[in-house]
Amino acid sequence: MSNTVLIIIACAAVTYLTRCGGHLIISQFGEIHHRLRAALAAVPTAVLTALVAPSFVTHGIAEGLALCAAALIAMRFSIIISTFASLFILVGLRTLIG
């Protein structure tokens, strides 16, 4: 097996164990505080923001506008719809702007 496949399998295993470990730790507390529940609900948005923010700063105007459009669309629609809509917007802006 190549190193790339081994790295992908190792990353998948670590991700799975991290998720299971977090679930097991939280389940030991029984009922969690509403503030902790709200903080945990915000984690996916924070991670997604951390992934796309560098693109907003380092790339061109088309990427920045597509990210802003994705944020606005995501407030109203599901993540799948906002992802595909922003992808089409990005492709269109790259075609128009260059």
Considering the domain boundaries, does residue 92 fall inside one? yes
pLDDT of the residue at 8: 92
pLDDT tens digits for 14-37?
989 988 888 888 888 778 888 988
DSSP-derived 3-state class of residue 36: helix
Pair 90, 49 in one domain: yes
Number of Cα atoms under 13 Å in the Cβ half of residue 98: 0
Q: Which tokens is 87 given? A: 């992808």
Pair 95, 52 in one domain: yes
Considering the domain boundaries, does residue 36 fall inside one? no
Q: What angle do helix axes 61-74 and 34-58 make, rounded to 10 degrees?
A: 160
pTM over 0.85: no
The answer to whether the CB of 65 falls within 8 A of the CB of 93 is yes
The answer to whether the CB of 62 falls within 8 A of the CB of 93 is yes
Considering the domain boundaries, does residue 37 fall inside one? no
pLDDT tens digits for 46-78?
787 787 778 778 888 888 888 888 889 988 988
The domain of 73 spans 42-98
Pair 23, 51 in one domain: no
